[in-house]
Amino acid sequence: MKLISYIRVVKKRLEIELDFEIDKLTNSIENAVTSEVFDTEINRLFPKDRKQIKKTEWAFDWHIEFNNHENEIYKLTTINNSNIIHGLICFTDKNDHIFMPLIESAKFNRGKNKLYKGVAGNLVAYACKVSFEKGYDGVVSFIAKSQLIEHYQETLGARQFRGSNRMFIDTKEALLLVLQYFKNFNHGKF
């Protein structure tokens, strides 16, 4: 009986549909009120870093992601304040592309009263950058909520696999995203 429950949990976990919002493609993150731009950095989180993520501040339970050893979790912070996490992304290396099972902006960066714009775009661009660095031509995939498929097509240039909610960002669109956020990215070698 426990095995059946575990299989259901694993199956449910694989079917998470992402609903992140690309509010604006910036060159970093931008204060929603003043339009001031803040340089960012993205760093990997390890199980020892769990204390940095407070469950009450996130819609997803990111602590579960630390238990899946296939996933890598990264945090987006500003260069001048690495203690405040603006967004999180989890991705898996599929040996020919990067798969994003989870991506989330911090609670204070969601909705009408968000403090900063550009968080989700920054994180997706980072996943594309890692894909280039691993030799996967920038290809990234994810599963989208049905009502957001068109949004991701318009904002990210993502494409939909036929008849499914699975989407992917191909090389050309990935390169545009990476160059938007990572000006020093050397794409000549890719």
**Residue 23 confidence (pLDDT):** 53
pLDDT of residue 21: 57
- pLDDT range class, residue 163, cuts 50, 70, 90: confident
How many Å apart are CA 63 and CA 48, to the nearest integer?
11
Is 190 within the bounds of a domain?
Answer: no
CATH number of residue 166's parent domain? 3.40.630.30
Buried b (16+ CB within 10 A) or exposed e, 83-117: eebbbbbbbeeeeebbbbbbbbbbeebbeeebbbb
Task: Look up residue 41 and give its two tokens.
Answer: 């950095």
The mean pLDDT of the chain is 84
Distance CA 64, CA 87 (A): 17
What are 15-26's pLDDT values in tens digits? 566 555 555 556
Residue 100 forms part of a structural domain: yes
Tens digit of each residue's pLDDT (9 = 90 or more) over 26-60:
667 888 999 999 999 999 998 888 899 988 889 88
Q: Above 80 in pLDDT, residue 151?
A: yes
Q: Is the pLDDT of residue 169 over 50?
A: yes
Please check whether residue 26 lies inside any domain of the structure: yes
* Helix (H), strand (E) at residue 35: none
pLDDT value at 4 more than 60? no
User: Tell me: the pLDDT tens digits for 63-119?
Assistant: 888 888 899 999 999 998 988 999 999 999 999 999 999 999 999 998 889 999 989
* 126 CB neighbour count, 10 Å cutoff: 25
Give domain status of residue 25, yes or no: yes
User: Which structural domain, as residue segments, surrounds residue 47?
Assistant: 2-185
pLDDT for residue 26? 64
Q: Which of 5, 8, 37, 3 is nearest to 181 (CA)?
A: 37
Q: How many domains, in total, are found in the chain?
A: 1
